[in-house]
Amino acid sequence: MPRLVFLWTDAVMLLLVLGVTLYVWRMWRNPEARRPWRKAFREAPALCSALVLLAFGTVALLDSLHFRRALPAGEGQVQAYSPRAESVLDALLARQFEMREATYSRPLAWQGFAKQSLQVGGSTERGYPRLQHAGAHLADPATQWAPDVTRRALTGLAAGAVVALAIGAALAGARARAQRRSFGPSLRELLRNETDLPLRAAWLTLAAMALLAGPVIALMGHYHVLGTDRTGNDVLLQALKSVRTAFVIGTLATLATLPLAIVFGVVAGYFRGWVDDLIQYVYTTLSSVPNVLLIAACVLMVQAFIDQHPELFETGAERADVRLLLLCLVLGLTGWASLCRLLRAETLKVRELEYVQAATAFGVGPLRIMARHILPNVMHLVLITTVLEFSALILYEAVLSYVGVGVDPSMNSYGGMINLARSEMSRDPVVWWSFAAAFGFMVTLVLAANLFADGVRDAFDPRSRSFRARVLPAAGKGVP
C-alpha cells in the first residue's frame, strides 16, 4: 500500500480546488452570481479557452497527488517506503520514464540523432545507432518504421474521432433531456449553432483535443513523439510535467498578491488622509524598482537560506517544492502594487455613494462598512485582475528560469526547457524539438488564459461591453 505524501504546493493546490468547488456550488445556487458567468460563457472564445484550461488543470492536479511506493519487506520487518515521491501522473507515464535513451533523438525516430562508431561485421563504421527503446519492437525498422507509425497514428485518430462523436452525442443528449425533447432536433440545433451557449464551438474544441490526443497516446508507448533531450529524457514527458509548475506559479503567486492588495487598497481609499499617503508612498516605492531585479534578489536570498539549511528537507523533491512555494510568495509580495492602485481608485468612488453615506450616518463602524458595502463592490476588479495576471506570471517564471533564478533545476518547467535549449539551437544540425515543445505548450496555456480573461472582463466589468452577432434559436424552440 503506497504512502501518501503532501508537499506544500500539493496542499495549497488541493485547497484551491476545494475552494473553487465550493464557489461553483454557491454560484449554482445563486442566480445573481451565476448571471455574469453565463454571460462570459456565451462568448465562444471564453468557453473554448475554459475547456483548454480545464485540460491543463487536470494534468496539473494529477501531478499534485504524490505518494511513495511501499518497498518489499520480510516477515517481522518494518514496512519501508521508497525515498522517491511519485505523482499519479508519473504512474500514468511510467512507460515514458522507462524509455530513457542515451542522448538526443528526433521526434518519432528509431535511430539516434548523431553518428557514432558502430561495429558492423567485425569492422568499425560511422552511422546512426539504433535507439534502445523507441522502435525496439520492429525487427527491420528501415522498412517497418513508416507503416508502423502510420498505422498507429491512424488507429489513434480513429479512436479520437469516436470520442469526439461520443462527446457530441452526449451534449445533444443532455440538451434534449434538459428540454424534454427528442434527440434529433437537439442535435440539429447543436450542429447549426442555434443554442444560447456556443455548444458547437465547445464540441469542436473537445473534438480537436480528442483528435490530437488519440495519435499521441497511440504512439507514445513505442516512440518518443517529441524526441528526447541531451540526457535522453522524453521531451513530451517534460512538457507535461511542466504544466504543474506553470499552474502553481500562475495561481499561488496571484493568490499571494490578494491579501496585501485588497487590505491596503480598500483602507487607502476609504480613510484617505495620511493613511492614503503612506500606502501610496509604499506601493510607489515598490513600483519604482524593476520587478525582475527585485524578484531575482529575493529569490537569491531564499536560495542562499535553502543551501545553508539542507537538514530541513528529507528529499530533493521537498527542497524543490519549498523553493517553488517561496518563489510564488516572492512574486506575490512584489506584485500587489498594481491591483492595490486599482482598488484604491474604485474605493474612492464607492465610498461617496448614497448607501455608504447612509451607513455612515447611522453609525455603522468603518470595518463593517468596508466588509459589507465596499469590498463586494470592488471584487469584480479583483477577479478580473486575478485572471489577467495568471498568464503574466507564467511568462515571469519562464524569464526567471531562463536567467537561472527561477524554480529548482530538478523541477520541470518551460523556462528551464527553454534555458537548456539555448545551446541546442546553435548546434548543426539544430536540435529544435525541445524549444518547440516548450514554446507550443506555453503559448497554448497563455493564449487560453488571455482569451478566458477577456471573456471574464467583458462579463464582470460594467464599463466593458461587447456586442457580437449570435445565431438565436428559432421561434418556439426555446433555449437550454
CA gap 139, 147 in Å, rounded: 13
- Which grid coordinates are listed for 69? 511506493
Between the two ends of the chain, the Cα-to-Cα distance in Å is 46
CA gap 208, 200 in Å, rounded: 12
Give tens-digit pLDDT for 304-333: 877 777 777 766 677 788 888 888 888 888
Question: Under a CB-based contact definition with an 8 Å cutoff, are residues 46 and 387 in contact?
Answer: no
Task: Summarize the chain as % helix, strand, coil (round to 5).
Answer: 65, 5, 30
Compute the average pLDDT of residues 20-40: 85
Angle at 454 between CA 376 and CA 261, to 5 degrees: 40
* Three-state DSSP class for residue 149: helix
This prediction's pTM: 0.84
Listing DSSP states for 342-353 in one string gives HHHHHHHHHTTS
Give tens-digit pLDDT for 399-419: 777 777 777 777 888 888 888
Q: What percent of the chain has pLDDT over 70?
A: 93
Closest CA to 241 of 47, 438, 49: 438
pLDDT of residue 177: 86
Instruction: Give 177's contacts (C-beta < 8 A, 6+ positions apart).
Output: none
pLDDT of residue 464: 55
User: What is the average pLDDT value for the chain, to the nearest integer?
Assistant: 83
pLDDT of residue 479: 45
Compute the average pLDDT of residues 198-212: 92
Question: Where are any strands of DSSP class E within 101-218?
Answer: 116-120, 123-127
Question: Where are any strands of DSSP class E within 121-240?
Answer: 123-127
With a cut of 90, say whether residue 160 has pLDDT above it: yes
pLDDT of residue 216: 93
